[in-house]
Amino acid sequence: MAITLTVNGAAREVDAPPDMPLLWVLRDLLGLTGTKYGCGVAQCRACTVHVDGEAVQSCQLPVSAAAGKSVTTIEGLGAPKLHVLQEAWLAEDVAQCGWCQPGQLMSAAALLARNSAPTDDDIDLAMSGNICRCGTYNRIRRAIKRAAGVPDAGGTP
Amino acid sequence: MNRRTFLQVGVSGAGGLLIAFTVGCKDKDAPAPAPAPTPGTGDAPAPARPAGADLNAWIRIDPDDTVTMLVPEAEMGQGIHTGVAMILAEELDADWATVRAEHAPADGAKYGRQSTGGSTSTRGNWDALRAAGATARAMLIAAAAQQWSVPAAELTTEPGAVVHAASKRRARYGELAAAAAKLPPPAPDTITPRAPGTYRLIGKPTKRLDQRPKITGAATYGLDVRLPGMLFAVVARPPVVGGKLVKFDGTAARAIPGVKDVLQIPTGVAVVATSTWAALKGREALSVTWDDGAHAALTSEQISKTLRDLAPGGVTVKQQGDAPDAVKRARTKLAAAYEVPYLAHVTMEPLNATCDVEDGRCTLWVGTQTPSGCQKTAAEILAIPPEQVTVHSTFLGGGFGRRSQTDYVAEAVHVARSMKGPVQLVWTREDDTRGGFYRPAALSLCEGALDADGWPTAWVQRIAAPSILERFGPLEGGVDATAVEGVENLPYALPHLLVTYARPDLPISTWFWRSVGSSQNAWSTECFLDELARAGGKDPLEVRRRLLKDKPRHLAVLEAAAARAGWGAPLPEGRARGLAVHESFGSVVAEVAVVSIDAGAPRVHRVTCAIDCGTAVNPAQIEAQMESGILYGLSAALHGAIHLDGGKVRESNFHDYPVVRMREAPRIDTVIVASTDPPGGVGEPSTPPVAPAVCNALLALTGKPVRALPIRLG
Ligand code: FES
Ligand code: FES
């Protein structure tokens, strides 16, 4: 079935079964492999993209539900210029293996878009859906605060 | 310096200098023995190999001044490419801004053995890397000396250039590279690496070289490989451990749009399709009959019982004094059983490999800890010479030991040989959790005795744990070295110590998991020591100070962590500190955890970590690895357990195999203890101490010991 959607600002037409999750449409049909697969069951958010500005787990969204909508992936987040979060990620040397980081960045970008000065609790709430097996959480927290211009108190004793 | 370091000089593709050398050979300090790999199992810790037999690392200096380090070790997140490049660049006196790091290719037999594990990347190759960098520098100096007709001794370097102070001449490395490539390499004994006090890059916190592609989505991992005409495959495998395929019907699967083929491979039934999704739908539609085999009734309870039955009758691994007798005669004694479950590795990028077999040649694109193991596996399956197999190493979305196996690569080869064009074989998260190789379950029966003043004097530890090493051949003396590491070399000065090991026969495949046996043995030993300290009315830090009098590295990290964590200082109500110290992979790490109890579960607020890893090549990456290893160990301590029900693995995905998330992640402070010793491992040594530090904090908080992982407060 032909489905039309906008991906990173460009109109794309894909021929996919309507129930194919957006994740596999992006990765396998459109070759946009920056969006990662980690669990397929809404547990890890490695697959996070923005659909009409909202953070969405693309492994859970049938492509038919994205028809006519505007999808932003990690490839689009920092184009043409790196997003302020990506700059902060570089400054904090966040990524280790890096597999989870596109999803982390897309979740963080959605957080900053609605909350320009997140607290530790806000970050816990917004980011605890994203798993990182390399344990980069402390750096992610610092990078979000750096991007937001919020000082980091360094936790409790 | 190793006089036998082997080097070859050549001209790079761009007309510059190319120096090939060998790293990653035998690590004589590795705690595990070096068994020979067996077919299809990938690589074990490296066997000895004649020096110079294989070249597997390169320094390339191009005329545009770019210095590229081609590193054979897998970049799985540990920052090894950056660390190796720093050591080479230090000795080369390269301008860091021009340095790049890439994965060296495993392309045919001319390339040497490549394997990353046991935290050996830096510590095993220190001499070889320094010699290679220093040799390159000497050759650039020799080229300048020739050009300027001055003695080499009058020349020095500054980052990226050779200079002649007397005549104020200066030539960039790129300008000299072509001339240097025509010179013979200097004799190894004329090469002197830099003295530790003079390092310019080593010891300086340095950002990773691979950050940018990883945050823009541009980095290519195994699962991101996209080739023209590539198909996707998933495999249905027997649900019961040791089960076999009886028959299958692929008719319904083939009817799924996009499904191209359904075929039998040794591990099950593969469905090949035009997208991952179609392959998954096809697998759901398969009708398969399995023979569950002999283990269809196996449960975790039975495994526990087997360990308990066997543990008392193990073979002696270490004996000093007469520990059982000392325990028998002691007035104050203590016995405790510590048990841990099987654990999955759960790399964030599920396992996968892409393979193309054509005209007797095989090409692999794979994120692996062992490119040479992949090459060997493919060559054996296809019965072709290894030089007909090319391995393109991609970034790894985590390794943790799992990607030093080649089972998933073998599957890709089996599928690809039956298909035209490349096939990407994908494991789902469920396949990954259930399909595999696990950190062994283990039981330790501990007994200890205190003297009249309450100090520990005797220690018995009887270990029962499935063997990892038995798959490589008979165990020396019946002992799996990985199962007893950290206990057999217990650092504490005790007059009486007995360590035994018993090997159960269990059908679950076991494998190296980040920090291997130390992952469970640091926990049992450090928890038991705290129990003994408590029984003797001693402070845990005091006991360790006393028993580690002759262990300066242990003492130093202990004091550093305790001081930084404010050991003994008041904490907010409801919180307590716990301490643990452990040596693994050539490094010693102490950790202090601050823990409270929140809704019946432990909450870890902060972990303070001190490491002695010898020369700290890149303090920034050491800190990152401490954080990473601690959270990896904490996931296991708080949540990790693979259970068996009716011979099937119960867990399947992150909902039932949870790992630490942002809200559970403690703040982590790291102290690096100064040292000029050769570098120790940093990827693994912070994992072992975290579980005991947390459990010891809980003991301090509640008075009740934790004797099983994951932690469940009763
Ligand atoms: S892959 Fe979508 S939430 Fe994990
Ligand atoms: S950086 Fe490896 S999973 Fe997050």
Mutate to test the interface with B, among A60, A75, A87, A96 (most CBs of B within 10 A): A96
> Does B208 contact A at CB distance below 8 Å?
yes
Q: Would you state the pLDDT for residue B103? A: 84
Q: Is the pLDDT of residue B630 over 50?
A: yes
User: CATH 3.10.20.30 region(s) of chain A?
Assistant: 2-77
Average pLDDT over residues B43-56: 42
Q: How many C-alpha atoms does B268 have within 13 Å on its Cβ side?
A: 28
Residues B211, A95 contacting (CB under 8 angstroms): yes
Q: Would you state the pLDDT for residue B228? A: 97
Q: What topology does CATH give the domain A84-148?
A: DNA polymerase; domain 1 (1.10.150)
Q: In which residue are the tokens 């023995």 written?
A: B33
Cα A125 to averaged position of ligand 2 atoms, centre (Å): 19
The SS3 call for residue B268 is strand
In order of B238, B246, B436, B507, the CA distances from B291 in angstroms are 8, 6, 18, 15
Q: Would you state the pLDDT for residue B79? A: 81
Q: Which of B34-48, B544-558, B568-582, B616-630 has the lowest mean pLDDT?
A: B34-48
Tell me the C-alpha distance between A114 and B383, whole Å. Answer: 59
Report all structural domains of chain B as residue ranges with CATH numbers, in order of start: 1-35 (no CATH), 53-216 (3.30.365.10), 223-293+351-426 (3.30.365.10), 300-343+438-702 (3.30.365.10)
Confidence band (pLDDT; 50, 70, 90) for B106?
low
Confidence band (pLDDT; 50, 70, 90) for B176?
very high
Q: Would you state the pLDDT for residue B579? A: 98
Higher pLDDT, B465 or B24: B465
Residues B106, B372 contacting (CB under 8 angstroms): yes
Q: How many C-alpha atoms does B498 have within 13 Å on its Cβ side?
A: 21
Average pLDDT over residues B56-70: 91
Q: Is the pLDDT of residue A97 over 50?
A: yes
Which residues pair with residue B99 across a beta bridge?
B67
Q: Tokens at residue A2, please?
A: 């032909």
Torsion from C-alpha of A145, A149, A150, A153, nearest 10 degrees: 70
User: Mean pLDDT for chain B?
Assistant: 91
Each residue's pLDDT tens digit, B294-348? 999 999 999 999 999 999 999 999 999 999 999 999 999 999 999 999 999 999 9
Residues B23, B472 contacting (CB under 8 angstroms): no
Higher pLDDT, B652 or B370: B652
Please give all residues whose beta carbon lies within 6 A of any atom in ligand 2, as ranges.
A 95-101, 132-134, 136; B 77, 348, 398
Residues B350, B351, B353: CA angle, nearest 5 degrees: 130
Instruction: Classify the C-alpha dihedral B310-B311-B317-B320 as positive or negative.
Output: negative
User: CATH 1.10.150.120 region(s) of chain A?
Assistant: 84-148
Q: Tokens at residue B685, please?
A: 């040594």
Each residue's pLDDT tens digit, B570-592? 999 999 999 999 999 999 999 99
* Cα–chain center distance at B320: 32
Give residues 395 to 414 of B whose Cβ lies within 8 Å of A.
395-400
Cα A137 to averaged position of ligand 2 atoms, centre (Å): 9
Question: How many interface pairs between A and B have CB atoms less than 8 angstroms apart?
Answer: 195
Residue at B139: amino acid letter: M
Higher pLDDT, B18 or B51: B18
Tell me the C-alpha distance between B554 and B584, whole Å. Answer: 11
Q: Tokens at residue A101, please?
A: 């980081």
Residues A36, B347 contacting (CB under 8 angstroms): no
In this prediction, the answer to ipTM > 0.90 reads yes
Q: Would you state the pLDDT for residue B111? A: 42
Q: From B82, B86, B103, B102, select the one nearest B94 (Cα to Cα).
A: B86
pLDDT > 70: percent of chain B: 92
Q: Is the pLDDT of residue B655 over 90?
A: yes
pTM score of the predicted model: 0.92
Residues B380, B363 contacting (CB under 8 angstroms): no
Confidence band (pLDDT; 50, 70, 90) for B12?
confident
Torsion from C-alpha of B329, B331, B332, B333, nearest 10 degrees: 30
Superfamily name and number for A2-77: Beta-grasp domain (3.10.20.30)
Each residue's pLDDT tens digit, B403-457? 999 999 999 999 999 999 999 999 999 999 998 899 999 999 999 999 999 999 9
Tell me the C-alpha distance between B268 and B238, whole Å. Answer: 7
Q: Would you state the pLDDT for residue B114? A: 53
Torsion from C-alpha of B529, B530, B535, B539, nearest 10 degrees: 120
Residues B303, B506 contacting (CB under 8 angstroms): yes
Q: Would you state the pLDDT for residue B125? A: 80
Q: Would you state the pLDDT for residue B11? A: 86
Tell me the C-alpha distance between A24 and B275, whole Å. Answer: 7
> Does B219 contact A at CB distance below 8 Å?
yes
Each residue's pLDDT tens digit, A12-69? 999 999 999 999 999 999 999 999 999 999 999 999 999 999 999 999 999 999 999 9
Cβ contact A95–B347 (<8 Å):
no
Ligand nearest to the CA of B429: 1
Q: Is the pLDDT of residue B140 over 50?
A: yes
Q: Would you state the pLDDT for residue B31? A: 30
Probe ligand 2: pick from B345, B348, B403, B625, max atoms within 8 Å of CB? B348
Q: Would you state the pLDDT for residue B340? A: 98
Q: Would you state the pLDDT for residue B565? A: 98
Average pLDDT over residues A118-129: 97
Average pLDDT over residues B645-658: 98
Q: Would you state the pLDDT for residue B188? A: 86
Residues B593, B595, B601: CA angle, nearest 5 degrees: 135
Q: What b-and-e string marks burial along B441-477, b requiring 16 or more CB atoms within 10 Å of the CB? A: bbbbbbbbbbeeeebbbbbbbbbbbbbbbeebeebee
Which residues pair with residue A73 across a beta bridge?
none
Residues A140, A124 contacting (CB under 8 angstroms): no
Q: Is the pLDDT of residue B1 over 50?
A: no
Q: Which of A67-71, A93-97, B113-117 has the lowest mean pLDDT?
A: B113-117
Q: Would you state the pLDDT for residue B81? A: 87
Question: What is the β-pairing status of strands B57-61 and B17-21?
Answer: antiparallel
Q: Is the pLDDT of residue B3 over 80?
A: no
Provide, as residue numbers in chain A, all residues whose Cβ is less than 8 Å from the Cβ of B428: 40
Q: Would you state the pLDDT for residue B75? A: 80
Average pLDDT over residues B218-234: 97
Average pLDDT over residues B465-490: 96
User: Mean pLDDT for chain A?
Assistant: 97
Q: In which residue are the tokens 């009886």 written?
A: B246
Tell me the C-alpha distance between B211 and B617, whole Å. Answer: 18
Q: In which residue are the tokens 């790894």 written?
A: B396
Tell me the C-alpha distance between B149 and B164, whole Å. Answer: 11
